[in-house]
Amino acid sequence: MTARVRANGWRRRWTRLFAEELDPAHNLDAVESKLFGIGSESYVVGSFEFYLGYAIQRQKLLCLDSGHFHPTETLADKISSVLRCVPELLLHVSRGVRWDNNHVILLDDALRATMEELVRGDYLARTHIGLDYFDASINRIAAWVIGMRNAGKALLLALLEPPGVVQAEAAGDLTARLALLEETRTLPFGAVWDEFCRRQNVPVGTDWVREMKTYEKDVLAARR
């Protein structure tokens, strides 16, 4: 079967699926791609190029899953380009299926770069952020809490970035941009995060681990 025949078949299926117009106040349609190739680790419906073109043509949301691209690719590199052509984005923040099948979100460079791109480009109002917590090797509650808190930390780090960074780049002052970015590395982020947690009446630091262990003992163990 040729690539053109496959693409036409999927186009007809999506046309039928989206035939009924739904109120965007209650439902937003999005299409999602995956790293496409023979022998990839999971079932692949369509390539990034196909779904990008379809989303642009039909003005649907494009879902970018951080676990669905080559290990050297990041979502941050795609966001500003894609949002020039589609109305909104759906982000599926995760980690790829590698050796450990571990999807738990880490506070790593890729996550920080994604949140920085959203804040610097003023894209938060056009972006829907979904998180993935699955990991069969650790406590599911812990996977959920760690992932949620790391996503929140990455977003807070981006929001705390001095506005002068964006202004310097817009002015072409790359020297000032570099100086400001380097200064942000030593800003007291931890104290701001702890205060945020206190104001939200949620555990500060690793206090949540104790609560999770109690829940595991009193609730999860009883289900077995």
pLDDT of residue 139: 83
Residue 153 lies in a domain: no
* In-domain check, residue 80: yes
In a domain, 97, yes or no: yes
Residue 100 has pLDDT above 70, yes or no: no
pTM, rounded to two decimals? 0.83
Range of the domain at 31: 27-139
How confident is the model at residue 101, as a pLDDT?
52
User: What one-character-per-residue DSSP string does the chain give?
Assistant: --HHHHHHHHHHHHHHHT-S---TTT---EEE-----TT-SS-----HHHHHHHHHHHTPEEEEETTSS-TT--THHHHHHHTTTSS-EEEEE-----SS--------HHHHHHHHHHHHTT-GGGEEEEE----TTS-HHHHHHHHHHHHHHHHHHHHTS-THHHHHHHTT-HHHHHHHHHHHTTS-HHHHHHHHHHHTT---TTHHHHHHHHHIIIIIHHH-
- Whether 128 is in a domain gets the answer yes
Confidence of residue 35 (pLDDT cuts 50, 70, 90): confident
Which pLDDT score is estimated for 97? 63
What was the pLDDT predicted at 87? 93
Count how many domains the chain has: 1
Residue recorded with tokens 């760690």? 146
Evaluate whether residue 155 is within a structural domain.
no
pLDDT band at 10 (very low <50, low <70, confident <90, very high): low
Q: Determine the average pLDDT of the residues in 18-46.
A: 76
41 occurs within a structural domain: yes
Give a yes or no: residue 133 inside a domain: yes
- In the predicted model, what is the mean pLDDT of residues 215-222? 86
Of 97, 88, 90, 41, which Cα lies nearest the Cα of 67?
97
What's the per-residue H, E or C state across 31-79? EECCCCCCCCCCCCCCCHHHHHHHHHHHCCEEEEECCCCCCCCCCHHHH
Q: Is the pLDDT of residue 53 over 70?
A: yes
pLDDT digits (tens, 9 = 90+) for 123-176: 999 999 999 877 777 888 888 899 999 999 999 999 999 989 999 999 999 999
Residue 105, pLDDT above cutoff 80: yes
Q: Quote the mean pLDDT of the chain.
A: 85
Please report whether residue 173 resides in a domain: no
Please check the confidence at residue 204 and state whether its pLDDT lies above 90: yes
pLDDT class of 13 with cuts at 50, 70, 90: low
Q: Looking at residues 14-18, what average pLDDT do you find? A: 75
